[in-house]
Amino acid sequence: MSELMGGALLAETLFALGVRDVFTLHGGHLDPFLIACPGVGIRLTDVRHEATAGHAAEAYAMTRPGELGVCVVTAGPGFTNCLTAIASAYSNAVPTLFIAGAPPESELALNELQGGFSQVQLAAPITKWSQRVSRIDRLPDLVEKASRIALSGRPGPVFLEIPINVMFGRTSRILFPVEPNRTKASKPTISAGDADRVLDVLACAQRPVIITGSGVVLSDSSAELQRFVDATGLPVVSNSKSNGVLPFGHTEYFGPASILAQLKSIGCEGADVVFLVGARAGLLLGGRSGNIILSSAKVLQIDIDASEIGRLSPVTVGLVADCSAALGVIATQAEGRDWPKWDSWKSGLRAARSALVDGECTDNGPSGRIHPNVAALRVFEALPLSTIVVVDGGEVTAWCEPHNRASAPGEYLTTGYLGTLGVGQGFAIGASVAHPGRPIVLIMGDGAVGFHLQEFDTMDRHDLPITTIVLNNSCWAMSMNAQDLVFGKQRRTVVMLEDRRYDQVAIALGCEGMRIVDASCIVEHVGNAIKAGRATCIDISTDPEVMHPITFGMAGADPKQGKISMPYYQNE
């Protein structure tokens, strides 16, 4: 072979591995790679902050199951700006490859530019694998290994550091070439006997429910899930990482898992058998509170990570397997059985979902600004069913969740386990690049939008038709309301914001923009913005005097009993 510069070899290797999109921000360490990408067929989407590039890679992988999200940034501050995105991908188990430049190894410990610390060691605790590439001829096999690790088992981020001398160096030798059509490893599955053990417990249940998680999304197993559900009539709810695993309107889909916490309030008993399919016990399922999964319930669980089986409580049947492979076996075994109807149980679930979605409220709140639930409801009424929705914020997320109408995995993205505000612009950019031509709507609080306002420029430069909706109540709503509950309104500290015009910021950075102060205009203006196919920001003036009920629990306050416990976590 003729000599190749290290950066060009990196680009060719990524292309051979199936990578077609890379999210980046320029740095001199990266130039051989960046310049080579267009020639080999890799599209570069450059953003205005490295954190956005990392979050975009995360969303790209979440919306394209089985594929790798790739983020390439420069050394030093470029890398450290990405740490939050790496941690987010790690906590949410998303297959992502992060690559950073580095000073030449010959200048190690010489107070060099953008060096002086170990990027590899810093990334190690929040990645599945962290490695320096010290030789150009090892680039292909180490990149292939990183890709394989990211996508195998429980998915997650990996990190490669490529020093500038490797990027700019040349080689005519490759020790371990990467074959474009590599044989894929088989997926761990279960036996027919294992499936029957699960089905026997479900068949005897009076109030069974399937709770799906990101394992269903990342294993691309919606078809197998639907086949299983169609055969059995079992009801399904999803945690916030698996919206869209069944089509919107499917008769057996009952919405977010939080409806299970509503059952008691409408006089219904909770589930007596819970089948966790790729869903991790913890934050998104009420932790040890027993609000979503009763302590008396039998728990069945499928997860590719054995350490997740029985994390918070013993399970009746635990299966370590890929969700797609396991559900295929379970569906086959289920199709030969007769199943109960569970009509009364499903009626209770429908009532609980209605209680969550149909809360009564007027268009305007106490202060005269638009009620946030009305704003969220009207926004979703305007969205075509093909819309990919990203939600970023505290109470904003809670207002939006019941109105979600996602019909496929990755069509409704939220912050996840890390609770990272400011991911919205990156998620929306990643989703838009991953799905050209699809309408992308980003719904944010005015707190969350402030982290990366500069990305309106990115949306415009790359012609990404993202409609950003800011529910603007001039405060950090969940934080303010929590302080009020625990300490009193007179003690508010660093939770207030000014009523800024974020639509005007978007206009200044090349996008369209408008403000809405009348709820009756929301459906029309949001619909028109989506049809226009331009990056647009719609600032909706919402009421800061309205508190979402979820904040009582998050703040640790029980207004009925006058109790305050430790906020956000279970009381010690």
Across 252-270, average pLDDT: 89
| Phi-psi category of residue 255: left, alpha or beta, with phi > 0 → left and psi -120 to 50 → alpha | left
Q: How far apart are CA 421 and CA 134, in angstroms?
A: 36
Phi, psi at 442, each rounded to 5°? -110, 120
Count Cβ atoms below 10 Å from residue 361 Cβ, excluding itself.
13
Q: How far apart are CA 380 and CA 400, in angstroms?
A: 8
For the chain, how many residues are written? 572
User: What pLDDT sits at residue 557?
Assistant: 63
CA atoms within 13 A on the CB side of 296: 6
Is the confidence at residue 1, as pLDDT, over 60?
Answer: no
Is the confidence at residue 571, as pLDDT, over 70?
Answer: no
- Better pLDDT: 175 or 220: 220
For 237, the 3-state DSSP assignment is strand
Across 405-428, average pLDDT: 89
Structure tokens at 74: 């420069």
Is the confidence at residue 572, as pLDDT, over 90?
Answer: no
Angle (CA) 337-328-401 rounded to 5° is: 100
Is the confidence at residue 251, as pLDDT, over 70?
Answer: yes
Across 303-331, average pLDDT: 94
Please classify residue 449 by burial: count the beta carbons closer than 10 Å to its beta carbon, then call 0-12 exposed, 13-18 middle and 19+ buried. buried
Bridge partners (DSSP) listed for residue 539: 470, 515
Q: How far apart are CA 24 and CA 99, in angstroms?
A: 10
Across 536-558, average pLDDT: 83
Residue with tokens 């400011």: 422
User: What pLDDT sits at residue 225?
Assistant: 96
R_g over Cα of the chain: 24
pLDDT for 187-209, tens place per residue?
899 999 999 999 999 999 999 99
Is the confidence at residue 449, as pLDDT, over 80?
Answer: yes
User: What pLDDT sits at residue 563?
Assistant: 67
The confidence band for 166, taking pLDDT boundaries of 50, 70 and 90, is very high
Answer whether 444's CB lies under 8 Å from 469's CB.
Answer: yes
Answer whether 309's CB lies under 8 Å from 315's CB.
Answer: yes
Across 41-67, average pLDDT: 96
CA dihedral 441, 447, 448, 451 (to 10 degrees): 120
pLDDT for 96-114, tens place per residue?
999 999 988 867 776 677 7
Is the confidence at residue 84, as pLDDT, over 70?
Answer: yes
The lowest-confidence range among 62-76, 91-105, 547-561 is 547-561
What are the helix (H) ranges across 321-450?
323-334, 343-357, 372-381, 395-400, 424-434, 446-449
The confidence band for 478, taking pLDDT boundaries of 50, 70 and 90, is confident
The percentage of residues in the chain with a pLDDT greater than 90, rounded to a whole number, is: 70
Is the confidence at residue 296, as pLDDT, over 80?
Answer: yes
Residue with tokens 């096999």: 141
Residues with catalytic function: 29, 50, 114, 419
User: What pLDDT sits at residue 558?
Assistant: 62
Answer whether 424's CB lies under 8 Å from 448's CB.
Answer: yes
Is the confidence at residue 403, as pLDDT, over 90?
Answer: no
Is the confidence at residue 302, as pLDDT, over 70?
Answer: yes
Answer whether 545's CB lies under 8 Å from 367's CB.
Answer: yes
User: What pLDDT sits at residue 562?
Assistant: 66
Is the confidence at residue 408, as pLDDT, over 60?
Answer: yes
Is the confidence at residue 24, as pLDDT, over 90?
Answer: yes
The confidence band for 381, taking pLDDT boundaries of 50, 70 and 90, is very high
- Better pLDDT: 481 or 442: 442
Is the confidence at residue 397, as pLDDT, over 80?
Answer: yes
The lowest-confidence range among 228-232, 361-365, 445-449, 467-471 is 361-365
Across 62-66, average pLDDT: 92
Angle between helices 50-63 and 83-91 (to 10 degrees): 20
The percentage of residues in the chain with a pLDDT greater than 70, rounded to a whole number, is: 94
User: What pLDDT sits at residue 110?
Assistant: 67
Across 238-242, average pLDDT: 88
pLDDT for 120-139, tens place per residue?
999 999 999 999 999 999 99
The lowest-confidence range among 280-289, 300-309, 408-417, 526-535 is 280-289
Is the confidence at residue 357, as pLDDT, over 80?
Answer: no
User: What pLDDT sits at residue 358?
Assistant: 65
Structure tokens at 430: 């990643």
Across 170-183, average pLDDT: 75
Structure tokens at 101: 């430049």
Mean pLDDT of the chain: 91
